[in-house]
Amino acid sequence: MKRRKLPWYGRLTEVLMPLLGPADLGRQDDAPPPHPVREIECPLCHHPMSEHRLEQVGGKNRHYCPA
């Protein structure tokens, strides 16, 4: 059987796999780690948006800063 020539990334994988091994994925039954929740900052007063009051009046949004 004639062996087909691998692309460059296939040859690189063949060289690195014995040295580095496969990807470390963890156990399949483990839950993925939680993603940190990023607090959005108000563009006007730079306080977190969770401290603000948002209202919808007449189809328009109103934004009340705590400062």
pLDDT in the model for residue 12:
93
Q: Is residue 31 part of a domain?
A: no
Calpha distance 65→30 (Å, rounded): 42
Domain that holds residue 67: 40-67
- Per-residue pLDDT for 3 more than 60? yes
| Half-sphere exposure at residue 58, Cβ-oriented, CA atoms within 13 angstroms | 1
Q: Is residue 51 part of a domain?
A: yes
pLDDT in the model for residue 2:
61
Helices marked H in the chain:
8-20
If one counts the domains in the chain, the total is: 1
pLDDT in the model for residue 63:
85
pLDDT in the model for residue 22:
83
What is the pTM assigned to this prediction? 0.40
pLDDT in tens, 15-58: 999 999 887 777 878 887 888 888 899 988 888 988 999 899 88
